[in-house]
Amino acid sequence: MPERWGEYQALRRMQSSNRLSLDLPDGVHQELAWVENLPIGSHHVHVLECVETRPQSQPVAFVWTTGFRLDASNAAAVANQAGRLRWKIENQGFNEQKHGGLNLEHAYTHDWKAAKIFYLLLQIAQIIEQLILHGNLLRATAGKLLPQLMGGRRKLGFYLAESLRIWIIPHDAFDPIAAARFQIRLDSG
């Protein structure tokens, strides 16, 4: 929100007690600063800034808005255990979609609506892939991951598409009472 950046910087100078300096075990130095109750529309949020300096590197700044009340006891935890991890999860997901065989960066259309539909289907495909890769559907009997049994991602995708094409989905599969008893178990290892 570039329109709020100047306001944040002005309030940060006024709230000089909202500072924390940390030296992490891996040699990283963090300077944390936060502003409370920054008005954004009808809401009031708190803004947390972390300027991180690694040995022999230039400082890098990260900024987050949060609903958590910030103080010296929790600012580092919000920055390092919430904001940074969310960023990592989002970027790893996009990286997997771009470079993991899902071809996110390929422009399949010039139609914006079609592009949004494609991306939604791509996300559904990634969810199914993650459920299969991290599930224990056949591991107990075969001792291998399902994609290894099927011959890789492309073959797995082919088999899934064929199963949707040739199998008739029974009527009771759409029964909400039966669906409540259905479970997907993920391997925690």
Give residue 50's pLDDT.
Answer: 92
Among 40-49, 143-152, 171-180, the range scoring the smallest mean pLDDT is 143-152
Q: Are residues 93 and 126 in the same domain?
A: no
Inter-residue contact 95 to 115 (CB < 8 Å): no
- Selected residue with higher pLDDT from 21 and 134: 21
The tokens describing 165, both together, are 């094409």
Percent of the chain with pLDDT over 70: 79
- The CA distance from 4 to 122, in Å, is 34
Does pLDDT of 19 surpass 90?
yes
Domain count, the chain: 2
Q: Tell me whether residue 179 is in a domain.
A: no
- Where is average pLDDT lowest: 82-86, 113-117, 173-177? 82-86
Assess whether 58 and 11 both reside in one domain: yes
Q: Does 93 reside within a domain?
A: yes
**What's the pTM?**
0.53
Task: Measure the CA–CA gap between 36 and 17, rounded to whole angstroms.
Answer: 11
Residue 37 has a pLDDT of 86
Q: Is residue 10 part of a domain?
A: yes
Judge if 6 and 63 occupy the same domain: yes
Beta carbons of 133 and 148 less than 8 angstroms apart: no
| Strand ranges in the chain using DSSP code E only, listed in sequence order | 19-23, 29-40, 43-53, 60-66
Do 42 and 125 have their domain in common?
no
On whether residue 106 sits in a domain, the answer given is no
Domain end marker among 70, 97, 124: 97
Residue 82 lies in a domain: yes
- For residue 23, the model assigns a pLDDT of 92
How far is 68 from 82, CA to CA, in rounded Å?
11
> Given this model, what pLDDT does residue 20 score?
92
Place of tokens 């991602």: 153
In a domain, 81, yes or no: yes
Between residues 172 and 166, the one the model is more confident about: 166
| pLDDT tier at 135, thresholds 50, 70, 90 | low
Instruction: Please check whether residue 92 lies inside any domain of the structure.
Output: yes
Residues 33 and 77 in one domain: yes
Share of the chain above pLDDT 90, in %: 14
Relative orientation angle of helices 153-166 and 112-134, to the nearest 10 degrees: 100
Tokens of 167: 């199998």
Q: pLDDT category, 43, cuts 50, 70, 90?
A: confident
107 located within any domain: no
Same domain, 83 and 44: yes
At residue 121 the predicted structure's pLDDT band, cuts being 50, 70 and 90, is confident
Structural domain for 156, as ranges: 112-170
